[in-house]
Amino acid sequence: MPRTLLTGGRIVDPFSKRDAPGDLLLDGDRIAAVTEAGEGGEADVTVDCTGLLVVPGLVDPHVHLREPPPSPSGTEAEVPEDLAETVATGSAAAVAGGFTTVCAMPNTRPPIDTPEAVAAILERGREAGRARVLVAGCLTRGRDGREPADLAGMRDAGAVAFTDDGSDVADDAVFEACLAEAARLHLPVLCHCEDARLADRGVLHEGPLATMLGLPGIPRDAEDLAVRRACLAAERTGCRVHIMHVSTEGAVDQVRQAKARGAPVTAEATPHHLALIADDLASRDTAFKVNPPLRTGHDAEAVLAGVRDGTIDCLASDHAPHTASAKARPLAEAPFGMVGLESALAVYIDTFIRTPMLEWIGLVDRLTVGPGRALGLAPPTLAAGAAADVTVIDPAAHWTVDPERFASRARNCPFAGREVVGRAVRTIVAGRTVFEAEAR
């Protein structure tokens, strides 16, 4: 593999606390050196990064790739032609959005709840040859919340975390048993915090819009109480617990209090819970239907403040592709979820940099170091000797979010048509350029 020099860019590396112009030299799949600008030395390939940011490869701890593992009988599950996403297309979407590493959720059909299923998805990620695809195995067998899955076996097969994402484990005893086992295995549990009894098949945030549309709402308490339970369970068991897609002021407060008590808790926010609100569903456009639901502007401000003060450690897309036919159903019947891998970075730039709520080093931290910490990975960095996973960002690129141009199979993006500034223009994984933006 040729030696590659990225020269003249602004190197932003939160782990190394570097934010300055410089050169980055890649040798094979490792970083050979980071130097002052113009001092990078000889290389086989030189990439001019003048006016661009050179950052560690972005990490998304929460994506849905939809492709099922082999069936429990051992036969290969047939992948429907109309599947909303595959490991290959989701991986392509990831690198187009600047993400070099993604963690796939296990709520496929059949679910990823065995060592064999974990191994199969990891192999498909390697075959795709784009982003590094990690896997979170199911917390309970079949994601039915009744008994722990084979956590040790899935850990040995390569799972980096456990979750029943899409649902919470309602039984307190089963939940704590799972956390205790995960703690013994030194792997985190990713929690979709929602009390199903309180959510009660709700469609959108409980409030005036739900009443006006005549649809059942999902109250804040459904999330707030579940987050409190997860934080307390983390303290009791010593398990590292990661709170997924925080959407309410109360949930932010629960995480803040847990961290103040020293609980092993991390948390994430998503682009849509930061940049959209419940009233965006007034048109009944199902692209805005998501779980947890879009909340009020007050909640969004609280989540923004949580990201800014570090209560929320990382940013995730919760990339949730669906077919056009599924999302074409009436609002009450359409599935929850929206795609985000290819629009997330631009939304984050608009939300945090252009406001400005964060400096670039702070935003990159929440897209690299924070997610890495939550998943127990080696800290993403551009230091010599680290993996040559690099994202190059053009902070001044003007473009329009157009789902028809996505690498993803799915088009259910609530940011369609939005004029944005800033995007990934080159994504490098293990020293190999796996995405380069077309001129627009």
Which residue from 300, 234, 275, 268 is spatially nearest to 370, judged by alpha carbons?
A: 268
- What residues act catalytically? 318
Pairing of strands 314-315, 265-269: parallel
| pLDDT band at residue 68 under the 50/70/90 scheme | very high
Res 72: pLDDT: 65
Distances (CA, A) of 310 to 87, 187, 240, 276, 287: 31, 22, 17, 21, 29
What is the pTM assigned to this prediction? 0.97
pLDDT at 440 over 60: no
pLDDT for 333-366, tens place per residue?
Answer: 999 999 999 999 999 999 999 999 999 999 999 9
pLDDT for 368-398, tens place per residue?
Answer: 999 999 999 999 999 999 999 999 999 999 9
- Sorted by sequence, the CB contacts under 8 Å of residue 269 that are 6+ apart come out as 245, 246, 303, 306, 307, 312, 314, 315, 316
Domains of the chain, earliest start first: 3-55+386-409+419-436 (2.30.40.10), 57-375 (3.20.20.140)
pLDDT at 58 over 70: yes
Res 339: pLDDT: 98
DSSP string across 123-144 = HHHHHHTSSEEEEEEPSBGGGS
What integer best gives the mean pLDDT of the chain?
Answer: 96
pLDDT at 251 over 80: yes
